[in-house]
Chains A and B, each alone.
Chain A
Amino acid sequence: MAQKVAITGNEAVALAMKQINPDVVAAYPITPQTEIVQIFSTYVSNGLVDTEFVTVESEHSAMSASVGAAAAGARAMTATSANGLALMWEVVYIAASNRLPIVMPVVNRALSGPINIHCDHSDAMGARDSGWIQLWSENTQEAYDNMIQAVRIAEHPQVQLPVMVCLDGFIISHAMENAEVLPDEVVREFIGEYVPQKTLLDKEHPVTAGPLAFTDSYFEFKRAQAEAMLQAKPHILEVAREFAKISGRQYGLFEAYKLEDAEIGIVVLGSTAGTAKNVVDKLRAQGVKAGLLKLRVFRPFPAEELAAALGHLKALAVMDRADSFNAFSGPLYAETAAAMYDSGAQTKMVNYIYGLGGRDVGLDDIEKVYGHLARIAESGKVDQRLNYLGVRE
């Protein structure tokens, strides 16, 4: 029987890792992720998992050890945040290009500088082109559920890509919420025994991992890597359907909230979706046709599905908790706008950069965005594409 517990995001992720019982976890502490591996290390010390726990000297080594373990055929995991992810950088790309199914919770935190430990999405957004699948979580429950699904997605024979499970630093990682956790044996049965597609430890079938590929072959390997991402969507949905059978919770590429008959809407990632749903409810009670789309799968980017779900809107705001500093827009806006343009949608679009460095986003802030959208829907004109929400002028 599933059990309802009061649990923080970090505790839930650590619990998921305990239930997954990975062969190797290599990690280095960084706020706000530290608790995950700290809690997990107690599971190791108390003999509750069989994991080889490697306390490395940096995140670069954490990802390197994870790559080595995964190449050896182990179910490998690490966890990080912000500057830790930045320090992993080159190996993050190597994990994906070597097609190693590593699972890594990323507890989203602002990248320096100025130095800041609080939530925004600049860390994971920076890694958006690294070739990792990215699952985003609205709350503790989703972080837990995404962790368990991530293992199956990463290890799917047709996918074989590493997966980041993103959860908002402090807002999710340190806040206690009600969540339903599955029994250990249900999780273990769901993820199954890991049968690696390849291993460095099979001396009967020696292989070389991570070789050189120059002008005559690099491009072909990258094209094949791109194909894995292009083909990943149905497998992510297949795992979600199976997960629904054990949990009763249905996941998709995104969640559409009161969107079907909406005239104005926002696209948002992570915990802000929870706040925004309250605003949608309030506006609906006032007769405003407001809706919301919470993206769960950012990589692969579900361009066609997004455009199909949003194309009927008169006005749409894309919320970015990270700036691209490209003098144009945040990353989620740019990709959503591209998807909408390709679909031929006539929706007027604006971008809101918000919540950088943990700046709180309240109901009033979100309401302002919908107010802006209502004006755009009425006039049919976009006055200002790029907007910063909640910054002092």
Chain B
Amino acid sequence: MTAKGWRDTVPGGWIKEAGNALEYKTGNWRSIGPVFIPENCINCLFCWAFCPDDAIMVKDGKMVGVNYDYCKGCGICARECPAKNKALVMGEEG
């Protein structure tokens, strides 16, 4: 967030730019987070579908990691990961 003075605020706190939730880094809400184990990943993308934020990074149809700028550590991805040996496990390093 840019540190604006009160004179530069929009009256009533209205947000005029669409999609600027990207600027709001919610990752620091996290106490524990998912740790990605690539060798266990079957690329089903359940984690991407279930993530309530925008924290699962996908490239060329493949899961490539967790964006910790936005991951709040809810643990849904780790719970939903169907791989026999889970590719996402909750841990303090996440």
Q: A interface vs B, CB < 8 Å?
A: 97-100, 160, 197-198, 205-211, 213, 216-217, 219-221, 223-225, 227-228
A221 and B9 in contact, given A207-B15, A208-B14, A211-B15 (Cβ under 8 angstroms): yes
Closest CB pairs A-B (n = 9): A99-B12, A208-B15, A223-B6, A220-B6, A98-B12, A99-B11, A206-B18, A221-B13, A224-B6
Out of B9, B13, B16, name the residue touching A210 (CB < 8 Å).
B13
Q: Does chain A have a CB within 8 A of B61?
A: no
Please state if A209 and B12 are interface contacts (CB–CB under 8 Å): yes
Interface residues of B in 1-39 (CB under 8 A from A): 1, 3-7, 9, 11-16, 18
A209 and B14 in contact, given A216-B1, A217-B1, A220-B4 (Cβ under 8 angstroms): yes
A213 and B16 in contact, given A220-B5, A220-B6, A221-B6 (Cβ under 8 angstroms): no
Out of B4, B7, B13, name the residue touching A211 (CB < 8 Å).
B13
Please state if B13 and A207 are interface contacts (CB–CB under 8 Å): no
Shortest beta-carbon distance from B17 to chain A in Å: 9
* Chain A residue nearest in CB terms to B11: A99
* Chain B residue nearest in CB terms to A220: B6
* Complex contacts, A224 vs chain B, CB 8 Å: 6-7, 9, 11
Q: B interface vs A, CB < 8 Å?
A: 1, 3-7, 9, 11-16, 18
Out of B6, B7, B9, B14, name the residue touching A198 (CB < 8 Å).
B14
**Could you show 8 A-B contacts with beta carbons less than 8 Å apart?**
A98-B12, A198-B12, A207-B14, A211-B15, A217-B4, A217-B9, A220-B5, A221-B12
Measured CA separation A98–B15 after assembly (Å): 11
Out of B1, B3, B6, B11, name the residue touching A197 (CB < 8 Å).
B11
Shortest beta-carbon distance from B4 to chain A in Å: 7
Measured CA separation A300–B35 after assembly (Å): 55
> Secondary structure of the A side of the interface?
loop
Measured CA separation A18–B17 after assembly (Å): 37
Measured CA separation A151–B71 after assembly (Å): 46
Please state if A97 and B3 are interface contacts (CB–CB under 8 Å): no
A207 and B11 in contact, given A220-B5, A221-B6 (Cβ under 8 angstroms): no
Shortest beta-carbon distance from A176 to chain B in Å: 40
* Chain B residue nearest in CB terms to A227: B6
Please state if A205 and B16 are interface contacts (CB–CB under 8 Å): yes
Please state if B13 and A160 are interface contacts (CB–CB under 8 Å): no
20 more contacts with CB within 8 A, not counting A205-B16, A207-B15, are A97-B12, A97-B13, A98-B12, A197-B11, A198-B14, A208-B15, A210-B13, A211-B13, A211-B14, A213-B13, A216-B1, A217-B4, A217-B13, A220-B4, A220-B5, A220-B6, A223-B6, A224-B6, A224-B11, A227-B6
Shortest beta-carbon distance from B28 to chain A in Å: 12
Please state if A160 and B1 are interface contacts (CB–CB under 8 Å): no
Measured CA separation A163–B2 after assembly (Å): 33
Measured CA separation A216–B3 after assembly (Å): 8
Out of B3, B6, B7, B13, name the residue touching A98 (CB < 8 Å).
B13
* Complex contacts, A205 vs chain B, CB 8 Å: 16
Shortest beta-carbon distance from A305 to chain B in Å: 26
Measured CA separation A98–B14 after assembly (Å): 7
Shortest beta-carbon distance from A193 to chain B in Å: 21
Please state if B16 and A207 are interface contacts (CB–CB under 8 Å): yes
* Complex contacts, B5 vs chain A, CB 8 Å: 220
